Amino acid sequence: MTHQVHAFEPPERFVAGTVGPPGERAFFLQARGGGRLVSVALEKVQVSLLAEKLEELLTEAQRRFGVDLPPELAPVIGDNEPLDTPVDEEFRVGTLGLAFDVDTATVVIEAIAAGEVEPEVELDDDEDEDDDEDEEPDEDLDRLRVRLTPQATRQFIERARRVVNAGRPPCPLCGQPLDPAGHLCPRHNGYHR
């Protein structure tokens, strides 16, 4: 099976964004560079965790390797533009990988497609034959690889957080998202709020 690696080292633009109204938003990572545009779909929680883990990665890189990191962006206005069109989903992200390259002082983000192959159940006791095939299960999956500077990573983190927080406001009692028509709040024993 052939797979594609969409590598942007570095991209002209790498952002998290959405398509659709709050409550029905589809989340994407989008990379642009060298005349190419790649959009991959993922879940809201994946965007939120990616921003959180990138922040941890930058902090750890500074602590362990003494990397000079830019301060967190407070007053700086980042990229608030919508996603570039057309937003054609290349694949749905199943796994996100992060690394810090000490030699180039860059952050590497890799989004790997969700596996489409169902796990096989084998009843044979002889496992030695299949060891070569099972070493790297993600090997035949499409992936998006992006290499960012620490400054570009901070900008990505800030935008990702804005995108995640731009959805429906949470219910003050239960924390679930409020629809424009309200919702059935479990804290009110199912009464419409």
Sheet of 26-33: strand order equals: 5-8, 143-148, 106-113, 89-101, 36-42, 26-33, 13-19
Top mean pLDDT of 5-14, 107-116, 168-177 is at 5-14
- What pTM does this model have? 0.78
Higher pLDDT among residues 4 and 131, named by residue: 4
Q: Is 5 helix (H, G, I), strand (E, B) or coil?
A: strand
Quick check: 18 pLDDT over 90? Answer: yes
For 80-95, write each residue's pLDDT tens digit. 899 999 999 999 999 9
Averaged pLDDT of the chain? 83
**The predicted structure's pLDDT at residue 19:** 95
Average pLDDT of the segment spanning 36-48: 96
pLDDT reading at 132 higher than 50: no
- Residue whose entry in the numeric block shows the structure tokens 């030695």: 128
Give me the phi and psi of 30, to 5 degrees please: -135, 130
d(CA 83, CA 99) in angstroms, rounded, equals: 25
Beta strand segments in the chain, E: 5-8, 13-19, 26-33, 36-42, 89-101, 106-113, 143-148
pLDDT at 177: 80
- Bridge-based pairing of strands 36-42 and 26-33 is antiparallel
Q: Does position 57 have pLDDT exceeding 90, yes or no?
A: yes
Higher pLDDT, 107 or 173: 107
The pLDDT score that the predictor gives to residue 65 is 85
Distance CA 53, CA 59 (A): 10
Specify the pLDDT at position 72: 60
Query: What is the torsion angle, in degrees rounded to the nearest 10, for the CA atoms of residue 107, residue 15, residue 89 and residue 2?
Result: -20
Cα separation, 1 vs 8, whole angstroms: 23
Structure tokens at 39: 């959009």
Q: Is the pLDDT of residue 11 over 50?
A: yes
